[in-house]
Structure 1
Amino acid sequence: MKIIGIEEHFLSPAVRESWAAAASGGQDASALLHLGEMQDRLEELSDERLARMDESGVDVQVLSLTSPGLHDLAPTEGISLARRTNDLIAATIARHPDRFDGFATIPTTAPKEAVRELERSVCDLGLKGGMLFGRTMDKNLDHIDFWPIFEMASHLRIPLFIHPRTPPRAVREAYYSGFDPLVDLAFATFGLGWHYDCGIQFLRLALAGVFDRFPDLRIILGHWGEVVLFYTERLKAFSRVTKLQRSVVDTMRENLYVTPSGMFNESNFRHAIEVVGIDRVLFSTDYPYQYRPGGGPRTFLEQLPISHDDKEKIAHANWENLTRNIRR
């Protein structure tokens, strides 16, 4: 059974250096998590990564720059880094075409150039989607400046992955502080803050009418839907106050794909297929953050109490169907 992991991260030294230079200006605190062995695994794109893929049973990684991407960098710097990063992804794929695919890195602080870079990455470099990280500076993802990105993604028939990033400083101080600094950081990032922030960004897209304007736009959320998938009964109530063409829950069922991001939990899986259906569940390990040696990812898939055909869908077929008709 071929397994394709679609949320598998890397970090280039050039981006890391730009993050470090921006740190004094309020850089996303999650950059502090990419140190030591984690940094080494993120930056390694050859033999060691392939060996760990083999060890965990993953055949293909869809590479993406890790959080917070380029969303806090000055426009000129973001544009240059995006081109260099996407060229790096394409070069890595060219060296191992049967082992890697890629999501384009998008310089969202320069929206017009971001559209052009997304088109270049897909049409010229052969990448299969785009990676976003919620807010850009102080602008939420539904800001009108970013709608051309959604228009281009819809035109190209590519998915956009919305990855978590750390909540704004004011939110961190109000909700995720009061403990020691390490606990505060964990609380605001992988403990909980990332996932609420990401789910809210998806809901903002729906409530802003982005899916009414671009009904074929396809969004991917990790971690089994970033919290909001578990609140469908409450989200139905938005229909009382919105004037959207479809309910938020219907939008989830028609425009959203979800993936486990290394959270190999059967009850979460069951809820996901209840909401979005088996054809909209993709696979991912969230490498290197959730890296598990010993074949854990493959074992999770093999032990699911579903048919072999459905296992194949999750393992690779749903991703292949999602990206089959990209307009190059």
Structure 2
Amino acid sequence: MIVDAHNHVIPAAIVRYLAENEEPFGVRVDRSGAATRLAHREGFAYPLFEEFLTPAEKLAQLDRRGLDAALISPSPTLFFYRIDPAVETAFARRVNDEIAAFAASAPNRLRPMGTLPMQSPDHALAELERITGELGIRSIMIGCHIDGAALSEPKFRPVLRRAAELGVLILTHPYYFGTKPGLEKYYLTNLVGNPLDTAVMAADLIFGGVMDELPDLKVCLSHGGGFIPYQIGRLVHGQKVRREAQSIESSPKELLKRFYFDSITHDAGALAYLIDLVGAAHVLLGTDIPFDMADETPLRTLDAVPGLSVEDRANITGRNAWRLTGA
């Protein structure tokens, strides 16, 4: 099976809920233009493609792109880590239920990926137990940081530890809430800021001891790992020459290979390097569909990687994703 491991949905019921509850989320449904959009008070908006909303269109688009199946995750624009934890917990529960129902319409082709109200680790733990026990969800998507709080902070360790114990795959995704200082021009907030967020988070999980402490933790880094795979030598060198980076005994390069990575690099050369660095068993085909920064032709990108064996290609295109998120 060809499986897209990074594919977003915003179920229609969630759009209706946000339309009826503009506060505290700060999101409104804008129907003033040619396309209906979700507009956030932070200043960004995006079209509500039918593929976000309904299973039938999601499946039709998978067929059009030559993809057999997808792990469907909530849009990262539905991370509301700034609001009251109880309100966010109720919303995350609603999102998870709707995504599970979305996937249940085609269980052989769609697998649900949940999310957690991470600003409250206690609530996040409870929701993790619920979605794995009641809904059978085996993967979650959370932000690269929790509104500025690093995932390596001790308060989040129980959530990460329990995910590791349950064998849950965690897809980390940049927490996109408006422009970042110095990156306002040219869409650099996304082009540079998002992969930077992933690189900072991964380096922090490495040097913060999380990857050493939790050897069974399964973390997948979005967008080909951001910048970190391509600057791992700098981390290795820094550990040798800088006291501040001597917080762990393990090699950063070896710990980097513990992560999983989607294939969204938009460049066959970069993808070839990533596969060579971490191994085909740790790379999952991804698209980021239906956002405009998606790789619409991920199989074409992968096919341009030279020297890829039939076995490695099969692992990347589907086996890894299905294995990591199976019961």
Question: Could you state the TM-score of these two structures normalised by the residue count of structure 2?
Answer: 0.85
Alignment of 1:257 with 2:260, yes or no, is: yes
Partner-residue secondary structure (3-state), 1:258: strand
Tell me, in whole angstroms, the C-alpha distance in 1 between the residues paired with 2:90 and 2:314.
Answer: 39
Instruction: Give the secondary structure class of the aligned counterpart of 1:249.
Output: helix
> How many equivalent pairs are there?
304
Deviation of the 1:237 alpha carbon: 2.2
Q: Which has a greater percent of helix?
A: 1
Deviation at 1:281, TM superposition (A): 0.8
What one-letter code is carried by the residue in structure 1 that aligns with 2:285?
F
Residue 215 (structure 1) aligns with: 215
Shift, 1:264, TM fit: 4.0
Structure 2 SS opposite 1:105 = coil
Asked whether the equivalents of residues 8 and 52 of structure 2 are also in contact (C-alpha less than 8 Å), the reply is no
Using the TM superposition, give the Cα deviation of residue 282 of structure 1 relative to its aligned residue in structure 2, in angstroms. Answer: 0.6
Identify the range of structure 1 (242-251 vs 155-164) with the bigger mean alpha-carbon deviation.
242-251
The CA deviation at 1:288 is 0.2
For 1:51 and 1:100, locate their aligned partners in 2 and report how far apart those are by CA, in whole Å: 12
Counterpart Cα distance in 1 of 2:177 and 2:59: 33
Cα distance between partner residues in 1 of 2:285 and 2:102: 21
- Give the direction of change, closer, same or farther, for the CA distance of 1:210–1:251 in structure 2 (3 Å limit): same
Counterparts in 2 of 1:118 and 1:308: CA distance versus 1, 3 Å: same
**How far did residue 88 of structure 1 move?**
0.8
Q: Residues 171 and 221 of structure 2 are in contact (CA less than 8 Å); yes or no, is this contact kept in structure 1?
A: yes
Per the TM alignment, residue 168 of structure 1 is displaced from its structure 2 partner at its CA by 8.4
Alignment of 1:18-97 (within 5 A): 21-23=24-26, 29=42, 32-34=44-46, 38-41=47-50, 43-68=52-77, 69-97=79-107
Per-residue deviation, 1:252? 0.8
Matched letter for residue 80 of structure 2: L
* Residue identity opposite 2:299 in structure 1: R
Between the aligned partners of 1:246 and 1:148, the Cα distance in structure 2 is 22
Alignment of 1:150-299 (within 5 A): 150-166=160-176, 172-173=180-181, 175-177=182-184, 179=185, 183=186, 186-189=187-190, 191-240=191-240, 241=243, 242-253=246-257, 255-261=258-264, 263-289=265-291, 290=293, 296-299=297-300
Distance 1:98 1:43, change over 3 A: same
CA-atom RMSD in angstroms? 2.4
SS at match of 1:229: helix
Is the Cα–Cα contact under 8 Å of residues 113 and 140 in structure 2 kept in the other structure?
yes
Which 5+ residue runs of structure 1 have no aligned equivalent? none
Is 2:140 the counterpart of 1:127?
Answer: no
Which 4+ runs in 1 deviate beyond 2 A?
Answer: 14-24, 40-43, 70-73, 165-169, 237-241, 290-293, 296-305, 320-324
Using the alignment, how far apart are the partners of 1:300 and 1:138 within structure 2? 34
- Percent identity between matched residues is 24
The residue number in structure 2 matching 1:102 is: 112
Larger deviation, residues 44-53 vs 152-161: 44-53
User: Which of 63-72 and 99-108 deviates more?
Assistant: 63-72
Q: Conserved in 2, the CA contact under 8 Å of 1:7 and 1:63?
A: yes
1:26-71 Cα shifts (integer Å, max 9, x gaps): x784x7242xxx3234631222221111001111111111114232
- How far apart, in 2, do the equivalents of 1:15 and 1:160 lie? 26
Alignment check: 8 A CA contact 2:24 2:83 kept: no
For the residue of structure 2 that corresponds to 1:200, the secondary structure is helix
* Distance of 2:210 and 2:89 partners within structure 1: 25
Deviations 1:243-295 (A, max 9, x none): 31412211111x2011123x4421011110122111111111111015577xx
**Per-residue Cα deviation, 1:69-114 (whole angstroms, up to 9, x for no partner):** 2323320111101111111111112111012112211111221110
Structure 2 unpaired stretches of 5+: 28-39
Q: Specify the SS of the correspondent of 2:67.
A: coil
